[in-house]
Amino acid sequence: MIPAKFSDENYADLNNIFSGGDISSSTKADLELYSIMLSRPNAYLHFSKFAFSQLCDTVRTLLIVRISEEQNIQAKKESRLALIIACVALIAGIVQAGLAYLQYASTQPVQVTASTPLPVRMVETNHEYVAHTLPEQKTTEPKLPEKKK
């Protein structure tokens, strides 16, 4: 929870952390608190003129670095997940190709059924499939009555 007001002691602690060089090892939460402290009205009165602007720049830069590090960790996790998915897809593709080859190489013919009769049928001859056409159906034309003269 962020306090409504910061005391002179809080600002003195921040100045000591900045002067001692320990600010570079601060966590993101600490840096966010420092940026809130520095954004309060009259915060500049607790620091010298040059130290305040330098402290603000340092906190802002370190906060950007911490955010960037968090995003980098998240991107690495997402990259690993994408790599795992790609590997699974590759393995599935290899398995599918292998099974298709085994089915093709097997001596068992593949039976195809159609809902309508086909004009061509496949006949197995020595493990080779040859297309045979169905015999034509003979139809007779109706005889027309002869015209009487």
pLDDT of residue 22: 81
Mean pLDDT of 108-113: 62
- The Cα 70–Cα 73 span in angstroms is 5
pLDDT reported for residue 76: 97
Distance CA 39, CA 42 (A): 9
Residue 85 confidence (pLDDT): 97
- Domain map (residue ranges) of the chain: 8-77
Single pTM value for the model: 0.55
Asked if residue 47 has pLDDT above 60, the reply is yes
Nearest CA to 28 out of 57, 69, 75 is that of 69
pLDDT digits (tens, 9 = 90+) for 59-88: 899 999 999 999 999 999 999 999 999 999
Q: Are 127 and 107 in contact (CB under 8 A)?
A: yes
Separation CA 74–CA 145 (nearest Å): 91
At residue 57, the 3 state secondary structure works out as helix
Average pLDDT over residues 138-143: 65
Any idea which residue has 């002179």 for tokens? 8
**pLDDT reading at 122 higher than 60:** no
Is residue 46 within 8 A of residue 15, CB to CB? The reply is yes
